Amino acid sequence: MRVSTGQIQRVMIQSMEQSGADYGKLLQQMATGNRLLKPSDDPLATVRLQGIDKELSALSQYEKNAEQVKSRLGQEETQIDAMKDTLLRLRDMTVQAGNGAYSQADRQALTQEMESLKDTLLSLANGRNEEGHYLFSGSKTDTPAIVEDPPGTFTYQGDDYQRQVAIANGVTIAANDSAEKLLGNTLQEVHDFIHVLKTESGDISAQVGKMLTAMDTGIGNVTRTLTDLGGRINGLEQVVAAHGEMQVFGQGLHNDLSALDYGEAAMNMQQMLLALQSTQQAYVNVNKLSLFTQI
């Protein structure tokens, strides 16, 4: 079979066009640092990369959730620790008020600080985060947890909802605690006991006993919550650390599949240039061929 000069030229042109396209693709790969410019470059690797990207995105969201919950629980911990100190001081003062040698005037002298401590407890129960949301109102984050209305009557306005936040695949953590669980009827007990100190002149041992029970209950509640909070915060720190390690591992896999090997790319570029130059020279030589050159 005869092969005409025109056919040879077409083959060479096609070869040069393909070599030029391959060279252009290599330049684009080197410019972006990506081995895969389109899914068809490596379909199997593309599918794996899509799965890795999905996992990395989920890890990033879980890590963000964990950091947000950790910050919120840290704010709670500060408020609740202050509640504990306040309750301990109130208990000490209750024991002091129960001293049988105290006169009514001595008891009344204690009430000014106790009033201040009561106000502190109310303020702590209605603590807010940096966004202005109430920490201890359950799901009613725009509503103060406890109000005094009418004066002398304390009412919990929140609910007992405890928000669960996903921090890993299939793992959630409680992101809030309610003032009702922490203080219950404690503020009312403090208010009523202050009233006793201001008005009663006789034996108040029964009222002192009731107040001590209320204080012990409140101290027990906040202590248990602090212990639970500490466990949750420690768990969150471990989860965040684990997510960081998994992200590094996942990103490494991603790079192994998608990143361009610049050393190999440089060698390929040199080989492509040599092949393209050879094809171009051959094309020039073919174009020079004619019957007259053979005479």
Confidence grade of residue 25 (pLDDT, cut at 50, 70, 90):
low
Tokens describing residue 78: 């500060």
195-to-63, 68, 211 alpha-carbon distances in Å = 50, 42, 12
Confidence (pTM):
0.73
pLDDT digits (tens, 9 = 90+) for 235-256: 999 988 888 888 888 877 766 6
Beta strands in 124-272 (DSSP E): 146-148, 154-156, 164-168, 171-174
Average pLDDT for 175-199: 94
pLDDT at 122: 97
Q: In sequence order, which residues have a C-beta less than 8 Å from that of residue 267 and are 6 or more positions away?
A: none
Residue 259, pLDDT above cutoff 60: no
With tokens 């990143």, the residue in question is 259
Confidence grade of residue 174 (pLDDT, cut at 50, 70, 90):
very high
User: Hey, how many other C-beta atoms are within 10 angstroms of the C-beta on 194?
Assistant: 23
145-to-78, 129, 162, 187 alpha-carbon distances in Å = 17, 13, 14, 12
Q: What residues does 201 pair with on adjacent strands?
A: none
Average pLDDT for 113-118: 97
Residue 294, pLDDT above cutoff 50: no
pLDDT at 1: 47
pLDDT at 28: 63
User: Hey, how many other C-beta atoms are within 10 angstroms of the C-beta on 74?
Assistant: 12
Residue 194, pLDDT above cutoff 70: yes
pLDDT at 218: 95
Greater confidence (22 vs 3) lies with 22
pLDDT at 23: 53
pLDDT at 292: 45
Tokens describing residue 207: 């009222």
Average pLDDT for 54-75: 92
pLDDT, mean over the chain: 82
Residue 5, pLDDT above cutoff 80: no
Q: In sequence order, which residues have a C-beta less than 8 Å from that of residue 63 and are 6 or more positions away?
A: 240, 243, 244, 247
